[in-house]
Chains A and B, each alone.
Chain A
């Protein structure tokens, strides 16, 4: 897994609170992806970021969800006013490049969000 670090590993939030999920990519990787795995479902793409830029956010809900990858520091996935349906495992992946056929994606351990 070459060092993609996600924290926290588990996060419990009450409905209406905010959830902030952090992802530190593999050292030297400048491409970060967020995926969501709902209970009993497969992983679905949410957003693709390169340092300071959102490249593709086509899989991210239009409301309440936002993502950033600042020049310094980890990538953040932010969910405002959480609802029960946001309960899922959120995975971050990083890669060295975005389009190279030899580009391998490395995944973190995930953050399991539970909304109560």
Chain B
């Protein structure tokens, strides 16, 4: 059974700092990995999707990496802004076709 863990559970940083969020998964037989953002009381916004054959994806100030063999992914956020404050969720998709989510990292960027 796939399990996804995200570390840290919460993170508070000053504006402008670069930061890294971590995600690990137990079963390396995945189709892809997605990073989402969830604002309080809102839905999920897809940030990046990394296919199983890819090593990284970039979108603006976000860069996500994938090391399938070790079961790890990182989300790098450059030059953080207060508007980046949200919960960041990592999810993997496998042969069961469903997404398995981590519990998220709650990020606060202080102005």
- Residues in A with CB closer than 8 Å to B52 are 101
Find the A residue at minimum CB distance from B43: A109
Partner of A102, one of B32, B91, B97: B32
Partner of A99, one of B31, B43, B45, B99: B31
Classify chain B: how many residues form its interface, as a range: 20 to 34
Which chain A residues in 1-57 approach chain B with CB under 8 Å?
Answer: 1, 33, 35, 41-45, 48, 55-56
Count residues of A near B (Cβ-Cβ below 8 Å): 29
Interchain CB contact under 8 A, A1 and B99: no
Determine chain B's interface SS by DSSP, over half rule: strand
Q: How many contacting A-B pairs (Cβ < 8 A)?
A: 71
Given contacts A101-B31, A101-B32, A109-B42, contact A42 B104 (CB under 8 A): yes
Flag whether A103 is at the interface (Cβ < 8 A).
yes
Interchain CB contact under 8 A, B31 and A100: yes
Determine chain A's interface SS by DSSP, over half rule: loop
Given contacts A103-B31, A107-B46, A108-B43, contact A59 B102 (CB under 8 A): no
Interchain CB contact under 8 A, B45 and A1: yes
* Residue of B93, B98, B99 most packed against chain A (CB within 10 A): B98
List 24 A–B pairs whose Cβ atoms lie within 8 Å, in order of A's numbering.
Answer: A33-B99, A41-B103, A42-B102, A43-B44, A43-B89, A45-B98, A45-B99, A45-B100, A58-B96, A91-B44, A93-B99, A98-B97, A101-B52, A102-B51, A103-B31, A103-B93, A104-B34, A105-B34, A105-B99, A107-B44, A107-B45, A107-B46, A110-B43, A112-B41
Please list the 8 inter-chain residue pairs (A to B) with the smallest Cβ-Cβ separation, ordered nearest first.
A109-B43, A107-B44, A45-B98, A101-B31, A42-B103, A101-B51, A43-B101, A98-B97
A residues contacting B by CB (< 8 A) are 1, 33, 35, 41-45, 48, 55-56, 58-59, 91, 93, 98-110, 112
- Taking A35-B101, A58-B96 as known contacts, 18 extra A-B pairs with beta carbons closer than 8 A to each other, sorted by chain A number, are A1-B45, A1-B46, A33-B98, A33-B99, A42-B101, A43-B89, A43-B91, A43-B101, A44-B101, A91-B44, A93-B44, A93-B99, A101-B31, A101-B51, A101-B53, A104-B46, A107-B46, A110-B42
